A and B are shown apart, each in its own frame.
Chain A
Amino acid sequence: MIKAKIYRFDPDRDKKPFYKEYEIPVERRVTVHELLNIIHRDYDGSLAFRTFKCYKGMCTTCILKVNGKTVKSCAHPLDMDAEITIEPVENGTVVRDLVVDFKTM
C-alpha cells in the first residue's frame, strides 16, 4: 500500500492549495509517474499532471517534488509501502494540481 499526499490546487476555484491523501495498493514497485497514472485512471480522474513521457529519462517534462526533493517522476521508483508527499516543482506557476507552466525551456 502506497500512501500518497498530493498537492491539489485549482486557482479558479480554490482559495488556497490543499493536500489530498490517497491509499493505493500495488503488487510491484511502481514509479511516481506510474502511480499518478493509476490514480488518474482508477481513483481520481480530476487529478491534473503531465502525462507526457519520453521513456528515457531525457525530457524532464514529468519532474515533480517527492518528499521535498525534485525528481524525474518516470525514473523514480517507490517502495511498495512508501509514504510520500507529491508537489509541483517551483520552476514556474502552478496551472492546476501538479501541472506547472515552466518558466524555462
Chain B
Amino acid sequence: MDIQTLTTDVVVVGGGGAACRAAIEVAERGMSCIMVDKGRPGRSGATPCALWSIQAPFGPRGRDERDSPDKFFEDMVRAGRFIGDQNIAEIVANTACDRILDMERYGVRFKKYDDGRFYQTPMPGQTYPRSCFMFENGQHMSTILAKEVSRHDSIKVYKDFFAFHLLKKEARVAGILGMDMLGGDLVAINARSTILATGGYTSLWGFSDNPPTLTGDGVGMAYRAGAELVDLEFNQYYGTDVIWPPSVRGTVVLYELMIQEFADGEITDRDGNPIIDKPLPIRDEAIKIIFNVIREGRGTEHGGVLFDTTKSPKGEQAVRDVFNTMTPKHYHFLIDAAGIDLAKVPLEVAPASHYQCGGVYINERGESSVRGLYACGEVEGNFQGANRLAGSALCDTQTMGAQVGGCAADDAKRGDLVPFDKKDLHGTVDLVKGFMEKKKSGLRPVFLKEEILRTMDQYVAPFRDAGGLEKGLATIRGIREEIGKISVPDVGRYNLELREAIETVLAVDAAETTIGSALFRTESRGHHNRTDFPEIDNKKWRCHSIVANKGGNPSYSKRDVIYTRLRPDDE
C-alpha cells in the first residue's frame, strides 16, 4: 500500500452541490484546489436525489412581488424553532438570489414565466411561493455544477476518492488522508485550508431516502479531529417515503404535491380518511401527524399511511401530468422498478431519515472550532435549527458553499502550508492495514454497519426516550469494541469491504454522538421528540447542544443561539 502526498491551497471533501460551489469559489479567488469526490463526479452525494425546489426570495423578479430576503430569513428562523444561528441565516437569505443567478450562468435550467420572471412553487412554511423550479431536478443541478468545476484548470478533481481522516499538525487541521478507490492507494493531501462538504449522514438509519454511502464520514472525521459538533439530535425525517414494496423503499413521493395547485390528493390512513389538513404543515409537524396515525394502529399493512391521488377531482390524466412535469424521473422510476403508477394506485409511505439539521459547528465564515477546518452544506451544523423548510437544503449548498469556499481561500492566501504530523498519518495507515490482516474470527463490516442502522431505526426515530436511547448507546458501544475484529480481503482495486470497514469506524462516532445529543436535550422541539419530555422547554433548551471529543469520550454542553435580528415572540 503506497502513500502518495499531494499539496494544494484548499482541499474540498465532497462531490455534491456544496462541494462544487465551494471549489468554484476557491478557483475564482485565484487559489488552487483539490476536490475529492467519494463517487462519480456530478452523480455523487445527496444532491442528485433532490427534487426541483431551491428557495430564493426573488420578489418582483419571481412569482410574488411581496417576497424579500427578510421574509425568507424570518420563515427559516421560525421553521428552525429559533435554534438556527441568524448570522448564517442572514447570509443564506441575502445571497440566495445571486447564487441562483450563478447557477443559471453555469447552465442550470429554471422554469420561467413568459416575461422572464422565475416561476416559483409554494411550499409549506413559505410566506410567499419561493421555491424556484429546476427542470430535471437535483441530478441536473449536480451535473451542471460538476461541469462548471471541470472548466477551472486550478481545480483538480479526484473521483472515487474516499476521504476518511483529517490530518493534523498540533491543534490545527493540515489536510486529509483518503483512499483512491480505483487503484487502492492511500493519498495524503496537505492543504492550507480544508473544507468538509461531505453532506449529511442520513443513511446511518436503515430507512432512508438518501444514498447508502452517506453514513457519517464528515462528522466522524470532524469529531476525531476535535471539532465541535452541534444539534445532532435534529435529524430530519421526511413524511412520505415509499415503505412498500421493498424494491423502491426509500423513494420520496412529495406530500407537498397534494395541494390544489398540483395533484390535489390526500395523505390518508388505512381506511382512506385524510390525515393531513390543508394548508399543509411544515415537515416536523407532518411527520408527527403521520407517526401518530401509525402508532394509533390506523396504519397500513407494512406500517405506513397512504399517498393517494386517485380520488383527485382533477382526474387521472391531470394528476399524471403533474407528476410528469414536477418529478418526471422518479414518477417513471416507480413504474419501471415496481410497476407502480402513482396516478392510478395509492402508495404505502412512511417517514424516513432525510436530512441532518445538525453537524459541524461553524461561524459565519464556515470556520469550525479547529483551525484550518471549514464546513459547508449539510455537514455544517448550526443554521437550520430544529427543522428545515423545503428548498433550504439546496439553497444552503450554494450560498454557504460560496461563502465558505471564499473565506477558506482568503485564509489560505494569508496562511502557510503547515506540514502535517507524520505520526498522525502513520497511526491511521496502520489502522487501515490492520483491517486487511487475516484474523481467526474475522468480522465482515457489512454486518456491523447493518447493526448500527438497525439501532438508529429502532431507538433514534423522531420519537425517542431515555430508555431506548440508553439501549441504543450500549449497542453502539458494543459495536465499537468489535471494530478490531474486522477483517477484509487484501485487494487493491475498488476494495468495497475495506471502505465499509473504515466507514464503520466513522459511523460509530456519528451514531454515538447523535444518540448522546438526543439524550442530552431533555425537551421536545422540531424533529427531536422525547416522549419522556414531551413539551418544548424554552427556558432551558432554546440553545444549541454541543458535543466534542474530550480525551476519547464525548462531552456535551449548551451554547447560546446567535440572534441578530429576530428574537422569539415571548422575549
Contacts and interface: CB of A to CB of B under 8 A. Distances in A.
A binds B: yes
Interface of A: 10-12, 28-31, 34, 40-41, 45-46, 48-61, 72, 74-77, 95-97, 99, 101-102, 105
B297 interface: no
Nearest to B46: A54
B143 interface: yes
Contacts of A30: 247
B492 interface: yes
Given A52-B213, A59-B139, A61-B39, A10 B329 contact: no
Contacts of B41: 105
B175 interface: no
Q: Which of A10, A52, A60, A77 has the most CB of B within 10 A?
A: A52
Interface in B317-361: 327, 329-330, 332-333, 336-339
Nearest to B212: A51
Contacts, number: 127
17 contacts: A31-B337, A51-B212, A52-B40, A54-B139, A54-B211, A55-B210, A55-B330, A56-B137, A76-B336, A77-B247, A77-B339, A96-B491, A99-B494, A101-B159, A101-B160, A105-B42, A105-B143
Contact of B492 (A12, A57, A72, A76): A12
B283 interface: no
B446 A60 contact: no
B252 interface: yes
B129 interface: no
A44 to B, nearest CB: 11
B489 interface: yes
B182 interface: yes
Given A55-B250, A101-B160, A95 B336 contact: no
Given A40-B496, A57-B336, A95-B182, A46 B43 contact: no
B48 interface: yes
A53 B212 contact: yes
B251 interface: yes
B87 to A, nearest CB: 33
A53 B211 contact: yes
Contacts of B250: 55
A57 B247 contact: no
A45 B48 CA distance: 27
B552 interface: no
A58 B247 CA distance: 16
Contacts of A58: 48-49, 137-139, 329-330, 333
